[in-house]
């Protein structure tokens, strides 16, 4: 694998997967706007190395922003190669059907397991070649990105946050964004459901400072493992050892008793004091495509910063999908399918998390269907498993019906489904970043049991008049009628946030056979692509409030922005994430200087019509 980020960069460059940008660029919005244009181009574009950032260090973005680069980061030709290794290890080796010869053939692989465990080494690592302490240990020397115009400041966006359980000493490596407050402090944005927050509560009960060490760079496997949905109390560096096929070598931090990979590019050491009042953190243009708004989080104090000579600062940009995190999620769904089968639901054949679902909002599963209500059982089990507890919408099909990775196929299943009977509803935990819920982190869940849908029988035709009349503030978008799944897209009158009688609209216009209606704000009408509308519908709805049956067999999704003045709606509703017009014009004018080839227009221009105001929230 890779000794450091520079070695990975060289591999990317030799494979034609990297562009070096030598002209001076700003870490405030300009790098993010350039990256957003590139990552949304076909196939995720190329990785970007900004060599002149006005600081001592270059910045690398989009380093895992394609299927190919994601595989390269994990040291394989295809992500399926890792999945096959796990299938062999967890499936064949543990199968009760395995013969003696089968198990003997597994012995060399099982013997390798002991080689994957992290290894403590003495002395200093490459990551400690240069040491800054005291006033010298200033975060302002690092090229932290201020990505979007309404961000609360500059953030560390690819931190590997190393903490240990106060009682057991078991390590966790998580990825929690960090807003720079000043030269020596940041926020620590760990959500209540995360292991870092649990460790924090443990130190709080003991009345002790919590040591925290943040690492950046090194072998890109480390960065991936910090995002992986590992079970609590399992070491992410063990997963890294498995992926690398060799152990992670760990050295002791200089100012606290936490061990970190010796080959990282940067180490930021410090502590969180649980006796301190939490501080306001945010806003932040998040991976949901919306701003996550201000809230209270612990303050992290820097005690030392170390780095290797020639260090490269890694960063990611998140916002309206697709972004780099979509390819990280793709790796996760393939790598963790085997453990899900083993530990949670053995009947699951495949799992797909579409980009438009921003990891948590949409999941599609196929199962080996054997009995009635099996899909409901699978849905409930998945909603109680690890990070799948954050899922909002789930589609469950039978493996005999075909591949789940085709929108056309799924659309045909949805069109033929009886929505009055196939829905599985629940309430539970949702992502803290889900802005559609009235209660933070709690909301509705909805699964579609499509396992009994008959793909061979007749389907009810859709009847649409030649001319549709607007009624009660509803307009029809003719370009967004999807016959493949009998979906009708409607737009509410500008500024209309009260209840709208969609059933009366269908009846008035004699529209028959429509199975699904999605209702959006008028300002979303003509600027967005169908994939954008899917993202918006999943993000802006809480299934327990915004999804209901109308006209007996039609399912309505009310995906409008939610007015805080209406009872049952969230108290705050965030703005969509876009670049400022100033930065868009700047990047337009400088495009040829970057050496990125054919001009790519700003994706933000497509989404600016969705903005509620010039602030991050209304």
What are the catalytic residues? 286
- What DSSP string describes 341-401? HHHT-TTEEEEE--GGGTTTSEEEEEE---STTHHHHHHHHHTTSGGGGG--EEEEEEGGG
CA 401/CA 349 separation, integer angstroms: 12
Pairing of strands 547-550, 516-521: unpaired
**Which region holds residue 407: left if phi is over 0, alpha if psi is between -120 and 50, else beta?**
alpha
The burial of 595, by beta-carbon neighbours within 10 Å (0-12 exposed, 13-18 middle, 19 or more buried), is given as exposed
- What DSSP string describes 544-601? HHHEEEETTTEEEEE-SPPPTTSTTS-S--BPBP---HHHHHHHHHHHHHHT--S---
C-alpha distances in Å from residue 256, one per residue of 112, 213, 214, 303, 537: 32, 8, 12, 9, 46
**87-91: long-range contacts, CB 8 A cutoff, minimum separation 24:** 87/338, 90/338, 90/339, 90/342, 91/338, 91/341, 91/342
The burial of 467, by beta-carbon neighbours within 10 Å (0-12 exposed, 13-18 middle, 19 or more buried), is given as exposed
| Contact (CB, 8 A) for 212 and 271 | yes
Q: How many beta carbons lie within 10 A of that of residue 436, not counting itself? A: 25
Give buried/exposed letters for 2-26 (b at 16+ CB in 10 A, else e). bebbbebbebbeeeebbbebeeebb
Task: Say whether the peptide bond before residue 376 is cis (omega within 30 degrees of 0).
Answer: no
Question: Which of 18, 26, 24, 25 minimizes the C-alpha distance to 49?
Answer: 18
CA 301/CA 304 separation, integer angstroms: 9
CA 84/CA 79 separation, integer angstroms: 9
Judged by DSSP in three states, 446 sits in strand
Pairing of strands 474-476, 487-492: antiparallel
Judged by DSSP in three states, 518 sits in strand
CA 461/CA 469 separation, integer angstroms: 21
Judged by DSSP in three states, 504 sits in helix
User: Could you give the residue ranges of the DSSP H alpha helices within 431-541?
Assistant: 502-508, 530-539
Looking at residue 112, the DSSP 8-state letter turns out to be: H
Give the contacts of 67 (CB within 8 A, at least 6 positions apart). 43, 44, 79, 327, 330
């Amino acid at each position: 694998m890779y000794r450091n980020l520079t070695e990975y960069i060289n591999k990317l460059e030799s494979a034609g997967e990297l562009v070096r940008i030598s002209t001076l660029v700003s870490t405030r919005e300009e790098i993010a706007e350039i990256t957003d244009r590139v990552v949304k181009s076909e196939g995720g574009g190329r990785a970007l190395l900004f060599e002149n950032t006005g600081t001592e260090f270059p910045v690398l973005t989009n380093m895992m922003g394609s299927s190919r680069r994601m595989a390269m980061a994990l040291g394989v030709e295809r992500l399926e190669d890792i999945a096959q290794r796990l299938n062999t290890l967890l499936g064949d080796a543990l199968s009760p059907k395995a013969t003696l010869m089968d198990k003997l053939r597994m012995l060399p692989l099982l013997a390798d397991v002991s080689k994957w465990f992290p290894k403590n080494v003495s002395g200093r690592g490459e990551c400690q070649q240069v040491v800054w302490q005291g006033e010298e240990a200033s975060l302002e020397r690092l090229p932290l990105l201020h990505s979007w115009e309404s961000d609360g400041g500059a953030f560390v966006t690819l931190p590997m946050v190393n903490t240990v359980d106060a009682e057991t000493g078991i390590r966790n490596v998580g990825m929690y964004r960090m807003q720079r407050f000043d030269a020596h402090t940041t926020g620590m944005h760990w959500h209540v459901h995360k292991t870092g927050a649990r460790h924090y509560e443990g130190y709080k009960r003991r009345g002790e400072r919590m040591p925290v060490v943040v690492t950046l760079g090194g072998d890109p496997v480390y960065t991936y493992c910090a995002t992986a949905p590992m079970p609590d109390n399992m070491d992410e560096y063990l997963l890294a050892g498995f992926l690398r096929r060799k152990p992670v070598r760990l050295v002791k931090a200089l100012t606290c008793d936490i061990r970190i990979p010796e080959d990282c590019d940067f180490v930021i050491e410090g502590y969180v004091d649980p006796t301190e009042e939490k501080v306001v953190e945010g806003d932040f243009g998040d991976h949901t495509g919306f701003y996550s708004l201000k809230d209270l989080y612990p303050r992290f104090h820097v005690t030392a910063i170390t780095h290797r000579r020639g260090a490269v600062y890694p960063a990611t940009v998140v916002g309206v999908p697709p972004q780099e995190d979509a390819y990280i999620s793709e790796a996760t769904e393939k790598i963790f399918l085997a453990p899900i089968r083993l530990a949670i639901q053995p009947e699951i054949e495949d799992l797909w998390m579409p980009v438009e679902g921003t990891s948590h909002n949409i999941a599609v599963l196929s199962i080996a269907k054997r009995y009635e209500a099996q899909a409901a059982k699978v849905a409930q089990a998945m909603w109680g498993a690890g990070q799948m507890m954050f899922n909002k919408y789930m589609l469950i099909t039978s493996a005999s019906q075909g591949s789940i990775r085709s929108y056309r196929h799924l659309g045909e299943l949805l069109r033929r489904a009886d929505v009055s009977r196939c829905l599985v509803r629940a309430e539970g935990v949702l992502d803290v970043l889900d802005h559609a819920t009235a209660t933070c982190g709690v909301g509705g869940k909805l699964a579609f049991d499509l396992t009994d849908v008959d793909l061979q029988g007749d389907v009810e035709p859709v009847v649409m008049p030649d001319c549709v009349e607007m009624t009660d503030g509803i307009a029809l978008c003719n370009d967004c009628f999807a016959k493949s799944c009998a979906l009708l897209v409607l737009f509410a009158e500008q500024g209309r946030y009260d209840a709208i009688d969609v059933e009366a609209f269908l009846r008035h216009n004699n529209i028959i056979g429509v199975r699904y209606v999605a209702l959006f704000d008028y300002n979303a009408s003509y600027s967005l692509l169908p994939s954008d509308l899917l993202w918006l519908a999943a993000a802006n709805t809480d299934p327990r409030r915004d999804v209901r049956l109308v006209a007996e067999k039609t399912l309505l999704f009310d995906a409008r922005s939610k007015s805080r003045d209406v009872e049952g709606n969230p108290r705050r509703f965030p703005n969509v994430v876009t670049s400022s017009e100033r930065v868009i014009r700047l990047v337009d004018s400088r495009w040829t200087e970057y050496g990125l080839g054919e001009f790519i227009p700003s994706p933000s221009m497509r989404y600016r019509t969705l903005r509620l105001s010039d602030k991050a929230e209304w």
